[in-house]
Amino acid sequence: MYNMLTNIYILIIVAVTLSFELLITKLLDVSSALPWGITISIYLLFVLSQILVKANEESEKNRVKGLLNEIMDTINGIPVINKNEKLIIKWDIVFKKLVDHKEFGIYDKIIKNKTHHIDAYVNKYPSLLKDDSIDLREIRYNIDLNSTIKNKRKKDEKIDTELVKDEENKRRLFIREIREDTAVFSNYNSSIYVDVMLKNEYVPENAVEKDIDHDSNYDGFSVWMAYQNEKINVVPRVMMHKKQINKSKWFVDNINALLDCATSIVNGDLNNILYVDNYKLINYLVDIPEVSESSSILKFKQLKNEVLVFMGTDKNNKATTAYCEFKTGYNRFEVILKNIEVKEDGKIQSLDVDKTVAIGSSFQPLVTMLEKMPELIRNIELVINNQDISSIVIS
């Protein structure tokens, strides 16, 4: 849609064109009906197209405004930030609140309309976010325009937590991201971040003092949180013997308890520890597959030309060498057992396998693979002994 000044210029051009056509037709002594008809028709089509564009624009604007008002009425406000002189709606917070309120219909409407499309209209028509019934509030804790757009009809309700206008609400954390063994908590404007990591454990805490080596019959974990360059242990190491823990399920099931620990850390309390005993893990345990005593106790030897080499000798002097291909991609890796060599009584037997024993996702695949080496070795030994792997995911 062109502005008023542009339309005036175009109208003047049309008038000049009509005058020029009239002059030419008079000089040639022909009728001016045809050229005038063409020029006027083109101009009318131009005007009609602008009317249609304007009507479509108004219709889309009203549709977006209706959706925004529907969101505001449902979740008591819309969180907004002002970044580089552009209004940006905090859609992650909006989506979380809609899910909390079980308003999946509005959720679907937003997805269908596209968030960037709504943001574009909000920046083109800021009045969509405020009129005689809507306030634009600037949060006093941030220089940026961290705002909540709110209908005055809801003003009499208790809305302190929704407006996020005091220090307590500023420190309120939400689940930003959760995976099998990691999670991220943050506050409403992402100025506070807490990273959560579940660490696999295979030896007791005093293993170094007692010179205890890795034992595949043990399985355990601990949980750590990183906040402001400080690493805090919120779940002390828990170990199980001859039992395998479904750690990812435990992690997801206890995410709210971990969120409480993170909230305490943000508020300066480092003593909120989540203690886990055997009784609390009873629903997360499975038996560790038995590995025969004569099997090789493998140890990692080298990584060369994307090939991992593992070697081990059992008590019967049977030497086993396993060769694995280490494939990496964007934020992921895969370990494939390609070949097994067994040397016994001077004879060497070679067996081609070509079986995936581990997959994972990480920004540093090699580092993660080395950290998860006990799990990887366990899976390789299970394959060597013709046993099933319970899980190939080790990230």
Q: What is the pLDDT of residues 265-293, one digit of tens each?
A: 998 888 889 999 888 898 888 876 655 54
Return the SS3 of 93: helix
Per the prediction, the chain carries an average pLDDT of 79
Query: Is a pLDDT exceeding 50 seen at residue 145?
Result: no
Question: What per-residue confidence (pLDDT) applies to 293?
Answer: 46
Task: Look up the pTM and report it.
Answer: 0.39
**pLDDT: which is higher, 195 or 115:** 195
Query: Is a pLDDT exceeding 60 seen at residue 295?
Result: no
**pLDDT tier at 139, thresholds 50, 70, 90:** very low
Query: Is a pLDDT exceeding 50 seen at residue 383?
Result: yes
**pLDDT tier at 257, thresholds 50, 70, 90:** very high
Question: What per-residue confidence (pLDDT) applies to 262?
Answer: 93
Question: What per-residue confidence (pLDDT) applies to 274?
Answer: 92
The mean pLDDT of 179-202, rounded to a whole number, is 85
Question: What per-residue confidence (pLDDT) applies to 151?
Answer: 52
The mean pLDDT of 233-242, rounded to a whole number, is 90
The mean pLDDT of 316-335, rounded to a whole number, is 86
Q: Specify the residue for token string 């574009």.
A: 120
Q: What distances in angstroms separate CA 332 from CA 173, 178, 309, 355, 359, one per listed residue?
A: 29, 17, 20, 17, 8
Q: Specify the residue for token string 């000798």.
A: 313
The mean pLDDT of 17-30, rounded to a whole number, is 80
Distance (Å, rounded) from C-alpha 222 to C-alpha 197? 8
Query: Is a pLDDT exceeding 90 seen at residue 78?
Result: no
Query: Is a pLDDT exceeding 80 seen at residue 322?
Result: yes
86-89 sheet: strands from edge to edge: 86-89, 78-83, 147-151, 134-136
Contact status, residue 204 vs residue 211, Cβ threshold 8 Å: no
Query: Is a pLDDT exceeding 60 seen at residue 355?
Result: yes
**pLDDT tier at 94, thresholds 50, 70, 90:** confident
Query: Is a pLDDT exceeding 60 seen at residue 134?
Result: no
Query: Is a pLDDT exceeding 80 seen at residue 63?
Result: yes
Distance (Å, rounded) from C-alpha 207 to C-alpha 211? 6
Return the SS3 of 310: strand
Query: Is a pLDDT exceeding 50 seen at residue 4?
Result: yes
Question: What per-residue confidence (pLDDT) applies to 323?
Answer: 95
Task: Using a pLDDT cut of 70, give the percent of the chain over it.
Answer: 84
Q: How many CB atoms lie within 10 A of CB 287?
A: 9
Query: Is a pLDDT exceeding 80 seen at residue 230?
Result: yes
Q: What distances in angstroms separate CA 336 from CA 322, 369, 375, one per listed residue?
A: 10, 13, 14
**pLDDT: which is higher, 130 or 301:** 301
The mean pLDDT of 197-212, rounded to a whole number, is 74
- CB proximity list for 62: less than 8 A, separation 6 or greater: none
Question: What per-residue confidence (pLDDT) applies to 394?
Answer: 78
**pLDDT: which is higher, 177 or 140:** 177
Q: Is the dihedral of CA 238, 241, 245, 247 positive or negative?
A: positive
Q: How many CB atoms lie within 10 A of CB 79?
A: 23
Q: How many CB atoms lie within 10 A of CB 254?
A: 18
Q: What's the token pair of residue 268?
A: 């300066």
Question: What per-residue confidence (pLDDT) applies to 158?
Answer: 45
Task: Using a pLDDT cut of 90, give the percent of the chain over it.
Answer: 15
